[in-house]
Structure 1
Amino acid sequence: MINFIDLGSEIFRTGFLLAIFGYLLWVGRTRRNLPPRGWNTLLSGFGLLVFGSLLDITDEFEALNPFVIVGNTHTQALLEKVVIFPLGYLLLLRGLMRWMPAVHGLSRELECRKQVERILEAIVETRTGELKAANLALAEEVVVRRQAQEFLEITRARLEHLLTASPAVIYCCKVGGNYANTFVSENVQALVGYKPKDFIEDSRFWINHVHPRDRERVVADLDALLQRGEACYEYRFQHRDGSYRWIHDELQLVRDTEGQPFEIVGYWVDITHPKRVEQTQQRLSAILEASTDFVGFSDNEGIAQYVNQAGCRLVGMSAEEAVGRPITVFTPDWANIIIQNEGLPAAKRQGWWRGETALLHREGHEIPVSQLILAHHTSEGEVEFFSTVVRDISEHKAYESQLEYQANYDSLTGLPNRNLLQDRLEHAIAHAWRVRQGVAVLFLDLDRFKMVNDSLGHDVGDALLKAVAERLRGCVRDEDTISRLGGDEFVLVLEELRGGEMSRLIANKILAALQAPFALEGQTFRINASVGISLFSRDGKDALTLLKSADTALHWAKAQGRGCIRSYTSEMNAQVVERLTMEQSLRQAWERQEFVLHYQPIMDLQTGNMVAVEALLRWQHPRLGVVPPAKFIPLAEELGIMPTVGEWVLRTACLQSRRWQDAGLPMLTMSVNLSTQQFIQVDLTDRVAHILDETGLPPSCLAIEITESQIMQDVESAVASLRAFKEMKVHLSIDDFGTGYSSLIHLKRFPLNRLKIGKDFIHDFTKTPEDETIVLAVISLAHSLGLKVVAEGVETEEQLRFLWENGCEEMQGHYFSPPLPASEMEGLLQENRQLPLRLAYQQCH
C-alpha cells in the first residue's frame, strides 16, 4: 500500500526564519501524527529539503521508507533557486545519492502502476457502464415484474369476483372412485348452501347429495366420460335446506403429457327455475294436447302458429296442414265476419272476447262452437299474438234445442205448452192492436177423461190425448195456436177474428169433431169436452187476464154439465175471487193451526160394538166456521200443502188413539185417509213406521184408507206399498169403492182388508134400483175376495136393516153418531154405547 503525505511547501514561502520555527512545530506535530510503522514511502515538497532537521525525519524512516521529492513546476523552479545555496545543494546531493535508486524504481513502479491504474480505470469504467446497464435493466425488470404482479393481482381479483358473481360453479375432481372434489369455487355456497371445504374434505360428499333416483345414471355417465372425454347431464342435488335443486353439469376430462387421465374439470349451473318452467311448459303442452277443445295461437297477422290435436280433428287437418294458414280457413264466412268485426276488436280493447261462432270442417260441414279469443300484448302495449279456445257445442246445441222444445212443446202431443202459449198469445195481442182485429182464447177440458185414464190405463189415455190433438188441428187455421197445458186441458188462440160469434162457431166445430167415436187399443168410445171462451179486448187486454177469463168460463161450463160452451162474463169473477180468498185462507190455516180432527165410530153389524174410529179432517175457519173437506182438500192438493197436512193428521190420530188406550178405553182401530200426494211418496212406508214408533201405537191398531184412483195411477208401486203395510200388520181399506174405475184384475192383487161403499150409493139405494144393485154387487165382490164391507153414510134404520140382511159387516154414519171432536168421542167410548140392532132384527122377522 502506498501512502502519500504532503508536508506543506508553504513553509518555504513564509520565510526562512519562520521556517525554522514552523519546522520545529511541524516536527513535534509530525511525530505525534505520523502513522505507525508500515509506510514505505515519504513524499515531501522540495521546500523541506533545505532543512537539516529533515534528515532526522529520513532517519526515522531510513530502514523502511525511501524519501521522494515530488512537486509541480513551481516546486522545480524553487529547487533551481535553492540549489544555489550550498546547504540546499548539499542536502540535495545527499538525498539524491541516497534515494536515487529507489526513486528510479519507484518511478518505474509508478509508471507501471499508472498503466495498471489506467487499465483498471478502463475496466472500472467498462464495468461501471455494464453495471449501470445491468442496474438499468434490473430496474426495468423490477418495474415490469411489479406491473406483472399488479396485473396478476388485478386479474386474480377479477377472476375471484367473476367466480363469486357467476352462476356457474367451477370445480375439479379426481378421476374414478368417488370422483372426489379437489377444487370448488366459492360461489358454490350460493348455489347449494355448502362451502367448498365440505366438498373437498369429504370424498363422498358430492355423490351422496345427488338425488337417489339420479345417482346411478350420473355415475354411469361419469364412467363413460373416460371414453368420450366430455359429458353433459342434469340431475337433482340436495340443498343444505333439504330441498333438491336441478343442476346442469358439464365436464371435461384432462389428460397429462403422456395422455393418461389426470383430472376432471367442469362447472355446475342451477337450472331449477328453467327446469320448473320446462316442466310447466311440458305439462301445459300435455294439457293442451289432451284437451278436447280447439286451442290455437296466431300472430298479429292472423296466421296460425299452433293448433292442438283436438283442433286439428275438429277441422279435419293435420298439424302440419293447419299451422301457417290464415285462421279464416277454420271458420265459415258468417263466423269470420263476427270475429273480424266484433271478436278481435273487443279482444284488442279489453283483452278478451267470448261468443258463439262455428268451425268449418274441411269436408264442408259446420260445427257450432263457443269461442274465446285472447289478445296477448307486449310490454309496450302492442298486440303480439292472439290465442283462442274453441269448444264444440254440437251436443249442447242439440240438447239446448231439445230443452227449448221441451220448454215450449208438449212431449206427448207435440203441441205448444203453456210457455210457448204465453209467447204466442202476447204476439197475437200485439198484432191485434196493430190491425185492430179480435183474438179469442178457447179453454177446453175433456169430460170424463179421468175415467178413461184410470180404467183403461195411461197408455190408452195418452193415445186419446194424441188423437184429440190431431182433431183439434183439423178445426183451426195454421196461423192459430193449439196448446196443451197438461192433463186433459187444451187452449186455442184464434187470431184475426172479425167478431165474437166466430169463436163460438169454432168451439162448436171442435165439440162436433170430438163427438165422433175414438177407436183406441181395440176399443171404441166417445168423449165430450167443455169449452170456456174469452175475447180480446173485452175480457182482458193482456195474455194472463185472457187466460184467467177463459179458465173461469170453463169452470162455469163444467158446472153446467158436459159438452157445454160458455163465454166469459164479468159476473163470473165472484167465483174467482172466492177461490183466491179460499187459497189465501188455506195457506194461513196451516200456519194458524186451524185444522182439527173429528172422529166417527165404525160399528160391527153383527155385535153392535164399536170396532174402529175414522179420523176426519176439518177446517175450523175463524169466519166461515167448520169448512167441509170436499171444499178445501182438492184446493190444498193443488197448493201442494196436503202432504204436510196429511202427515200431521196421521201423527195426531195415532197419538190420540194411544192416549185412549193408555186411559183404559177399548183398543179400537184408528182409520186414517191418505191423500193422493201422500200415497205417491217414495218413503211413505218409512214415514208411517216412524210415526207409529214415535207415538207408540201398535201397527195392528192402524187402518189406512185409500181410493181406487190413487192405487190405479201406478199399480205396481201401489202393490209394493200395500204389501209393505201388510207386512207391518197395518189394515188396508179402499174408500168410496165403486166411484172409481179400478180393474178387477188388479183388485185381487191388492192385500186389502175392507171395501168401503161410498155414501152416495147408500143414500140412494133405497130409492133407486140401480144403486141397490151396485151395493149388492160390491158386497158380493168383497166377500168373494175375502174382504169385509163397510157402509158409509148410513142415516136411517131402513138402510141399516138392508145392509144387515145382505151381509154387510160394518157401518158408519149419522144413524149412530156424526163425526165428533176428540173430547166428545172419548165420552162416547167411556159410555160404551152399542148399535141398537135388536129393533132391526125384530122388524126383519
Structure 2
Amino acid sequence: MQTFAGAFPLRFKEILDKSHFLKRKIFWALLWPAGALLIALVGWIYLVHDLDKTWQQTEARALADALNLAKNHADHLVRSFDTVDQTLLHIRYEWQLTEGNLELETLNKRKLFHAGLLFNVSILDREGNIHTSTMPGIKNKFLGDREFFNAQKFAIIDFLYLGKAVFSSALNQDVVHFARSLNDPDGSFAGTVMVAVNPAYFTTTYNENSLGKQGLLALAGDDGGMRATRVGNKIGRVSAFAFNKVPQFSMLWGSGLLEGKAWFADGRSRYVGWQQIEGYPLVAIAGLDQQEVLVPYLKTRTTALRSATLATTGLLGFSLIAMILSLLLAWRKHQLEQTQATYRMATEEGHEGFYIAHPVRDRDRKIIDFIAGDCNSYGARLFQQRREGVLGKHFSTLFPEPERHGFMNHMRQAMETGFYEGEMQSSGEWSSVVKWVHLKMVRADDELAITIRDISDTKAHVTELERRGNEDALTGLPNRYWIQGFLPQAIARARTEHAMLALLFIDLDGFKWINDTLGHPVGDELLRYSAERLKVAVRPHDHVVRLGGDEFVVIVEQLEDRQDAAHVAERVVAAFREKFRLSQGTHSIGTSIGISVFPDDGADADTLLKNADIAMYAVKTSGKGNFRFFEHKLYEALRKRVDREQELRQAIENDELLVHYQPRFDIKTGVVSSMEALVRWQHPVRGLIEPLEFIPLAEETGLILDIGEQVLDKVCAQLAAWARQERGLLPVSVNVSPRQFSHANFIKIVAGCLKRHRVPAHLLEIEITESCMMGDTQDVAAALAALQKLGIRFLIDDFGTGYSSLSQLQKLDFDVLKVDRSFTSEVEKTEEGKVFFTAIITMAHALGMRVVAEGVENRRQLEILKRLRCDEVQGFYVAKPLPPAERQSDFPMPVMPAFA
C-alpha cells in the first residue's frame, strides 16, 4: 500500500504535466493537417479546372478536325461529280457523232471507258426504253416513269440531274442516278444518257487514320434526301442509312455535336462537320466518334484522378505523421529543458569531468569569462589539479592557450542556444593529458552544466579503422575507398591552382595467367612485389593505389606538362622488365598503362579514371608493355569492343555456335582414330567466323566458360544422335582452356553432359594445353584422375608452345601428345626439325603416350612423319574440319590417297 501511495502522486503529476503540455502545443500541431487539407483543396480545384479546360480543348480540336474532313470530303465529291458529268457529256457527244447509233456494249467490250461495280451507263430513247447499256440484260427495259427521265424530258435548259439514292432491282444494289438529255438536230427531246453510281463511290476516301473505326462520311441533299453514308467499314443502304433523320444545316459550313440516338442509328454521338458543295444542292458531312475522340482524354483524366487521390492520401498521411512527430519532438524538448534545470547528476566517482560554470559579464552584459562554481575530482584531474584548486577559478586560466579560444567560444554558444555538444582536439600542453575530448554543455537558468569526457582511445581506434578501411590489406597501398576521397580533393586543388594532374591506370600483363596456373598464393606474392616496384618507380610525392585485382593507379600531381606523366610511365614500364623471383620460380610480367590528364581529359574523378582505363585498354589491344595517353578516338574503339562482346554473348544465348569435326588418322593404316571438335560462329550477318576471331575475346571476358560448356554439350548431343542413327562411333576430343579446366565445377559439368545425353565416357577426349599444368601439380593430377576414372582420355594440345617440365609429364597421366603445327612444318625444312620431332616422339613413347602431328599440309610432311614413327596425323592435307552432316558415315575407313 505504501508503494502504491508513493507511485500514485508521481503518476498523477506526469499525467497532469502532459495535459498542460498538449494544451499549449495542440494548436500548432493541428496546423499540419490543416495546411495539408488546404494544399489538397487548392490542388483539386486546379485539377478539376485543368481537366475541364482539356475537355473543352479536346472537343474544339474534334470539331475543327470534323470541319476540315468535311471540306476535304466536299472537294472529293466535286471531283467525283465532275468525273461522272464528263462521262455523260462524252457519251452524249459520241451519241451525236454516231447519229444515235452508239452501242455502249461494244465500247464496254473494248474497255474504252471505266465501267464497273460502282459505275454503269445507259442511253434511253424518247419513250424511256433502254436503247443501249454497259449493264447486260436490261436492253429495251422501260424506265420512262423514272424521275431522272421525266426531269430531262420536260427540262427547258440543259442541266446535270443528280437524284436521290434508290434501290435498283436491275442492278440489285443502291444507286444514285446522274442524267443529261439527248436532243435531235432540231433541238427536240430524243432521250437521256444516264449513269447509275453506287453510293459507296462517294465515300471511298474513308480513312481510319483520320476518321477512326466509328467515323462518318455522308452525302445529303438540300431536298432532305440522303445520297450516301458510311460508318467505319459499313456502307449505308437506302433502307438503313446511318442517320435516323437527315440534318438540316442553317449555314453553308460548320461543325457541332450530334447526340447519339436522336441522330444516329447506332446510337453513338459524333462531332460532325459539314460543307455545302459548291455548284450542287448537296452537303458533304464528316463525323468523328465522340467515344474515340475522348479516349486519350479519359485515360489522362483517370490517371490524373488516381494520382491526385494517392497524392491527397499521402499528403494527409504525411501531415498526420508530421503532427505526431512534432508533438514528440516538442515533448522531448520539454523533457530536456526540465532535465537541464536539474542537471547535477554527475558523481565524484564518475569517468567524466563535470563542471558548473557561472558567466562573468562586463558592463554591457557581454560574457567575457566563466568561473568554475563546482567540479568533481575527475574534472580537476583533467587540469592536473585538485578539486579545491579549480573551484573559483576562471576557465580562461584553466585551459592552455591553443584550446582556450575554442573552449570559450563553445561556452558562449551554449549560453546563447542552450546547448552545445562536440569534440575538441588538443595540440598544446594539454595534449600530454588528453588528445581528444567530448564536450557537452547545457544551460540551466544562468549557469552551464559541462561534461568533458576523454575520448583519446576511441579516436585512436577510429583512426586505425579508417586507416585499415583505406588501405589494401595485401600490398599496404591505399585502396579504392581512399582514392574516392583523395582524388576529388586533388582535382579541386589542381583546379584552384590552375595546375595539371595525371592518372596512370596500370594493368599487369601476364598476371592472370600466373594467378590461374600457379595459384592465388603465388599471385598474391607477385602483387606484393609489384606494389614495391611501383613505389620505387614513381616520384616521392606521387601516390600509388591498388584498385583491385591486378589494377593499380598512380596519381601524379604538380605536373609542368604532359611529358612529366610520360616520364613516370616510362620508369614504371622499365621497372617491370626485370623478372620476379617468386616461390615457384622466376617469371616475367609487364605493364599496360593508360594516362588521363586533368583538365584536358576530364574534370572529375570518375571521368579521369574512366578515360585512363580506356587508354590502358588501347595499350592492351595493341601489344601490351607500353603506355598511352587518352584520346577521344579510343572511346570509340572501346565501344566497338563492347559491341563485339555483346554480339558474342548473344551468339551464346541464340545458339549461333557450331561444331565442326576434323578427323585424326593412324599414320600406318590410314584409318580414322578420333575426331577433334572445332567451334565456329555462324554470324547472322558476317557468316561463318573462325575461332581465332572470337576465342581471344572470350578468354579475356570470361565467356570462354560458357562457350566451353556449350561445346561440350553439343559434342555429347551429337555423339548421342550418331548412336541413334546406328552410325559408326569414334571418340571426339574437345579443347578445354586453362580457365575452364581450373574451374571448380568443371568435373561436374563434364559428368553432367555425359549423363544427360547417355554417352559412354570413352567416346569423349579432352585436350588441354601445357599452361593448364602450370598450377599445383597435385590439383591437376587429381582433376585428371577424377575424369580418367570416368573413362575419359586426356591429350596435351599444341605441345612445344608453352612451358612444361619432364617431371610434370611423368607425374601427370596423359594418353596422347599433340605436337604443335610449327614443329610439324619444320620436319621438311631442316634436319634440326626432324631431330627435335624425333626427340618428342621418343619421349612420348617412353611415357606411354601416342604422338599426333598437327597441321600436316603436304605429302612430304606425311612421309617424313611416317618414317619418324609418328602415330597419328591431323591437318588440312588429310582432312578438313566438316559440319556433322558432312561427316563420313562409316568408320573406321581408309583415308584419301594421301596414305596410299
Q: Distance in 1 between matches of 2:832 and 2:750?
A: 39
- Partner of 1:404 in structure 2? 469
The one-letter code matched in structure 2 to 1:791 is A
What does residue range 742-821 of structure 1 map to in structure 2 within 5 Å? Answer: 742-763=804-825, 766-767=828-829, 775-821=837-883
Q: Report the alpha carbon displacement of residue 399 of structure 1 after superposing the two structures with TM.
A: 9.6
Deviation per residue, 1:298-346 (Å, 9 max, x gap)? 9974647999xxx99x99xxxxxxxx99999999999xx9xx99xx99x
Is residue 2:749 matched to residue 1:687?
yes
Is residue 2:884 matched to residue 1:822?
yes
- Partner of 1:142 in structure 2? none
Q: Report the alpha carbon displacement of residue 700 of structure 1 after superposing the two structures with TM.
A: 1.4
CA 1:725–1:525 in structure 2 vs 1: closer, same or farther (change >3 Å)? closer
Is residue 2:659 matched to residue 1:601?
no
Identify which of 665, 670, 673 aligns with 2:732: 670
CA 1:452–1:665 in structure 2 vs 1: closer, same or farther (change >3 Å)? same
CA 1:460–1:687 in structure 2 vs 1: closer, same or farther (change >3 Å)? closer
SS in 2 for 1:720: helix
Is residue 2:534 matched to residue 1:469?
no
- Partner of 1:649 in structure 2? 711
The one-letter code matched in structure 2 to 1:623 is V
- Partner of 2:678 in structure 1? 616
Identify which of 597, 603, 610 aligns with 1:535: 597
- Partner of 1:835 in structure 2? 895
Q: Distance in 2 between matches of 1:494 and 1:561?
A: 25
Identify which of 505, 508, 524 aligns with 2:570: 508
Which one has the bigger helix percentage? Answer: 1
Q: Distance in 1 between matches of 2:832 and 2:618?
A: 30
- Unpaired runs of 5+ in structure 1? 1-296, 316-323, 358-363, 374-389
Percent of residue pairs identical: 38
User: How many aligned positions are there?
Assistant: 519
Q: Distance in 2 between matches of 1:471 and 1:792?
A: 42
The one-letter code matched in structure 2 to 1:579 is R
Do the aligned partners of 1:298 and 1:327 also contact (CA within 8 Å) in 2?
no
Do the aligned partners of 2:503 and 2:595 also contact (CA within 8 Å) in 1?
yes
Do the aligned partners of 2:728 and 2:891 also contact (CA within 8 Å) in 1?
no
The one-letter code matched in structure 1 to 2:478 is P
- Partner of 2:257 in structure 1? none
Q: Distance in 2 between matches of 1:416 and 1:765?
A: 55
The one-letter code matched in structure 2 to 1:436 is H
What does residue range 353-502 of structure 1 map to in structure 2 within 5 Å? Answer: 404-405=469-470, 408-409=471-472, 411-421=473-483, 423-445=485-507, 463-485=525-547, 489-502=551-564
Cα root mean square deviation, aligned: 5.6
SS in 1 for 2:502: strand
Identify which of 789, 803, 817 aligns with 1:727: 789
Q: Distance in 1 between matches of 2:815 and 2:584?
A: 35
The one-letter code matched in structure 2 to 1:834 is P
Q: Distance in 2 between matches of 1:464 and 1:696?
A: 45
Deviation per residue, 1:643-677 (Å, 9 max, x gap)? 34432322221121122123222221121223444
Q: Distance in 2 between matches of 1:808 and 1:330?
A: 93
Q: Distance in 2 between matches of 1:785 and 1:667?
A: 28
CA 1:583–1:522 in structure 2 vs 1: closer, same or farther (change >3 Å)? closer
Identify which of 632, 642, 645 aligns with 1:580: 642
The one-letter code matched in structure 2 to 1:628 is E
Q: Report the alpha carbon displacement of residue 465 of structure 1 after superposing the two structures with TM.
A: 4.4
- Partner of 2:761 in structure 1? 699
Do the aligned partners of 2:730 and 2:891 also contact (CA within 8 Å) in 1?
no
- After superposing the two structures, state which structure 1 stretch, 494-503 or 471-480, moved more: 471-480
Deviation per residue, 1:666-724 (Å, 9 max, x gap)? 22112122344432333432332232222111111111222222332343322211111
The one-letter code matched in structure 2 to 1:681 is H
The one-letter code matched in structure 2 to 1:491 is V
Q: Distance in 2 between matches of 1:796 and 1:330?
A: 98
CA 1:432–1:398 in structure 2 vs 1: closer, same or farther (change >3 Å)? closer
Is residue 2:763 matched to residue 1:708?
no
Q: Distance in 1 between matches of 2:583 and 2:776?
A: 19
Do the aligned partners of 2:798 and 2:819 also contact (CA within 8 Å) in 1?
yes
SS in 2 for 1:752: coil
Q: Report the alpha carbon displacement of residue 366 of structure 1 after superposing the two structures with TM.
A: 10
Deviation per residue, 1:715-737 (Å, 9 max, x gap)? 33222111111211111122222
Q: Report the alpha carbon displacement of residue 800 of structure 1 after superposing the two structures with TM.
A: 2.6
Do the aligned partners of 1:298 and 1:306 also contact (CA within 8 Å) in 2?
no
- Partner of 2:311 in structure 1? none
Larger Rg belongs to: 1
Q: Distance in 2 between matches of 1:752 and 1:821?
A: 28
Q: Distance in 2 between matches of 1:462 and 1:733?
A: 31
TM-score by length of 2: 0.47
SS in 2 for 1:820: coil
Do the aligned partners of 2:488 and 2:605 also contact (CA within 8 Å) in 1?
yes
SS in 1 for 2:539: coil
The one-letter code matched in structure 1 to 2:677 is A
Q: Report the alpha carbon displacement of residue 816 of structure 1 after superposing the two structures with TM.
A: 2.6
Q: Report the alpha carbon displacement of residue 758 of structure 1 after superposing the two structures with TM.
A: 2.8
- Partner of 1:567 in structure 2? 629
Do the aligned partners of 1:756 and 1:789 also contact (CA within 8 Å) in 2?
yes
CA 1:354–1:773 in structure 2 vs 1: closer, same or farther (change >3 Å)? farther
Do the aligned partners of 1:451 and 1:740 also contact (CA within 8 Å) in 2?
no
CA 1:592–1:563 in structure 2 vs 1: closer, same or farther (change >3 Å)? closer
Do the aligned partners of 2:673 and 2:892 also contact (CA within 8 Å) in 1?
no
- Partner of 1:625 in structure 2? 687
SS in 2 for 1:619: strand
Q: Distance in 1 between matches of 2:533 and 2:660?
A: 49
- Unpaired runs of 5+ in structure 2? 1-338, 354-374, 384-398, 426-431, 441-454
Deviation per residue, 1:730-765 (Å, 9 max, x gap)? 111222222222333233222221222233443566
Q: Report the alpha carbon displacement of residue 802 of structure 1 after superposing the two structures with TM.
A: 3.1
Deviation per residue, 1:774-824 (Å, 9 max, x gap)? 544433332222112223333322333333332322232222333222212
Q: Bigger relative contact order, structure 1 or 2, given CA contacts below 8 A and separation 6+? A: 2
Deviation per residue, 1:426-459 (Å, 9 max, x gap)? 4433332222222223344555667777898876
The one-letter code matched in structure 1 to 2:698 is A
What does residue range 118-267 of structure 1 map to in structure 2 within 5 Å? Answer: none
Q: Distance in 2 between matches of 1:718 and 1:536?
A: 48
CA 1:465–1:792 in structure 2 vs 1: closer, same or farther (change >3 Å)? same
Q: Distance in 2 between matches of 1:661 and 1:331?
A: 91
CA 1:694–1:527 in structure 2 vs 1: closer, same or farther (change >3 Å)? closer
Q: Distance in 1 between matches of 2:668 and 2:459?
A: 73
Do the aligned partners of 2:518 and 2:776 also contact (CA within 8 Å) in 1?
no
CA 1:723–1:527 in structure 2 vs 1: closer, same or farther (change >3 Å)? closer
Do the aligned partners of 2:506 and 2:552 also contact (CA within 8 Å) in 1?
yes
CA 1:518–1:637 in structure 2 vs 1: closer, same or farther (change >3 Å)? closer
What does residue range 50-89 of structure 1 map to in structure 2 within 5 Å? Answer: none
Deviation per residue, 1:355-399 (Å, 9 max, x gap)? 9x9xxxxxx999999x9x9xxxxxxxxxxxxxxxx9x99999699
Q: Report the alpha carbon displacement of residue 588 of structure 1 after superposing the two structures with TM.
A: 2.1
Q: Report the alpha carbon displacement of residue 560 of structure 1 after superposing the two structures with TM.
A: 5.6
Deviation per residue, 1:619-646 (Å, 9 max, x gap)? 2222232333333334334444443443
- Partner of 2:798 in structure 1? 736
CA 1:423–1:725 in structure 2 vs 1: closer, same or farther (change >3 Å)? same
